[in-house]
Amino acid sequence: MRVAKDSVVSLEYKLHLGDGQVIDQSAPDQPLSYLHGHRQIVPGLEGALEGMGLGDSKQVVVAPGQGYGEHDPAGVRTVPRNMLPPGFSPQAGQTLMAQTDQGDIPLRIQEVRDDAVVVDLNHPLAGKTLHFDVTVKGVRAATQEELTHGHVHGPGGHDHG
Ligand code: ZN
Q: Please tell me whether residue 49 adopts helix, strand or coil conformation.
A: helix
Q: Which of 9, 1, 18 is nearest to 47 (CA)?
A: 9
What is the distance in A from the centroid of ligand 1 to the CA of 143? 10
Average pLDDT over residues 60-78: 96
Residue 138, strand partner residues: 10
What is the distance in A from the centroid of ligand 1 to the CA of 146? 6
Instruction: With beta carbons less than 8 A apart as the criterion, state whether 7 and 141 touch.
Output: yes
What is the distance in A from the centroid of ligand 1 to the CA of 10? 17
Report whether pLDDT(161) > 70.
Answer: no
Average pLDDT over residues 111-123: 93
What is the distance in A from the centroid of ligand 1 to the CA of 151? 6
What is the distance in A from the centroid of ligand 1 to the CA of 160? 6
**Amino acid type, 24:** D
Residue 57 CA: distances (Å) to CA of 63, 107, 130, 137: 20, 35, 16, 9
Q: Given this model, what pLDDT does residue 106 score?
A: 81
Q: Which residues does 101 contact at the CB level (< 8 Å), separation at least 6? A: none
What is the distance in A from the centroid of ligand 1 to the CA of 144? 10
Q: Where are the beta strands (DSSP E) in the chain?
A: 7-16, 22-25, 32-35, 57-62, 76-80, 95-100, 103-112, 116-120, 130-141
Per-chain mean pLDDT for the chain? 93
Tens of pLDDT, residues 132-155: 999 999 999 999 999 999 999 987
What is the distance in A from the centroid of ligand 1 to the CA of 7? 15
Instruction: With beta carbons less than 8 A apart as the criterion, state whether 97 and 105 touch.
Output: yes
CA 80 to chain centre: 30
Tens of pLDDT, residues 32-55: 999 999 999 999 999 999 999 999
User: How many distinct helices (H) and strands (E) make up the chain?
Assistant: 2, 9
Predicted model pTM: 0.82
Provide, rounded to the nearest whole percent, the portion of the chain with pLDDT above 90: 76
